[in-house]
Amino acid sequence: MESFKNIEQSQVTISELMLPSHTNFSGKIHGGYILSLMDQIAFACASKHSSNYCVTASVDTVDFLRPIEVGELVVMKASVNFVGRTSMVVGIRVESEDIHSGIIKHCNSSYFTMVAKDDKGKSVPVPGLILKTEKQVRRFLKSLNRQEMKKNHRQETSKKEELKIEDLEILRNSHKVQLEY
């Protein structure tokens, strides 16, 4: 019998104070550090849902909307938005709070596709999702659409295409490139 879980059963929230050791050369919190935290929370969320070890299969668009400053409290919220047979899409929202003023800013949202694995590293089925709200249904459908677009993109990019003269002319006239081949 197939099992199902409520989305709330696997939701995870983490908070961390941003320290000077987390900065890049311009004094803002390093994007790579934020990505590392996002990967950790995606792992925790997917592992809670699947009750298995999980690996990151892909990361959809990561747009750094606003910089995060030293001394701000970063809060990340993760939720399983979609499940396939062995994979899950974990939605992550990143916010930072200026703890002096209380101002909260949305810094990033992203989607991590995670795959459940057994002890031998073989992909294993994951429980289904119980969708209780319109928002949960919308998130599931959006994830389904993103999965389809990624599948189509993979198929398109795997095709070998011949270069056309028109393409080269577009490059020469409309882009900042110099062709030397």
CATH number of the domain to which 48 belongs? 3.10.129.10
Strand partners, 83: 88
Closest C-alpha among 134, 37, 128 to residue 80:
128
Q: Indicate whether 65 pLDDT > 70.
A: yes
- Does any domain span residue 110? yes
Assess if residue 172 is contained within a domain: no
Q: Range of 46's domain?
A: 4-132
Which residues are paired to 78 by β-bridges? 12, 92
Checking if the pLDDT of 84 tops 70, the result is yes
Question: For residues 141 and 166, which has the higher predicted lDDT (pLDDT)?
Answer: 141
Residue 170 lies in a domain: no
* Structural domains of the chain, count: 1
Give the pLDDT mean for 13-24. Answer: 97
Q: Is residue 145 part of a domain?
A: no
Q: Does any domain span residue 167?
A: no
β-bridge partners, 110? 92
The whole model's pTM is what? Answer: 0.87
Q: Which helix (H) or strand (E) holds 80?
A: strand 73-83
Please check whether residue 169 lies inside any domain of the structure.
no
Q: Read off the pLDDT band of 1 (50, 70, 90).
A: low
**Residue 149 in domain:** no
Average pLDDT of span 135-149: 95
Residue 49: band (very low, low, confident or very high) from pLDDT cuts 50, 70, 90: very high
Within a domain: 94: yes
Question: 4 CB contacts (<8 Å, ≥6 apart)?
Answer: 127, 128, 129, 130
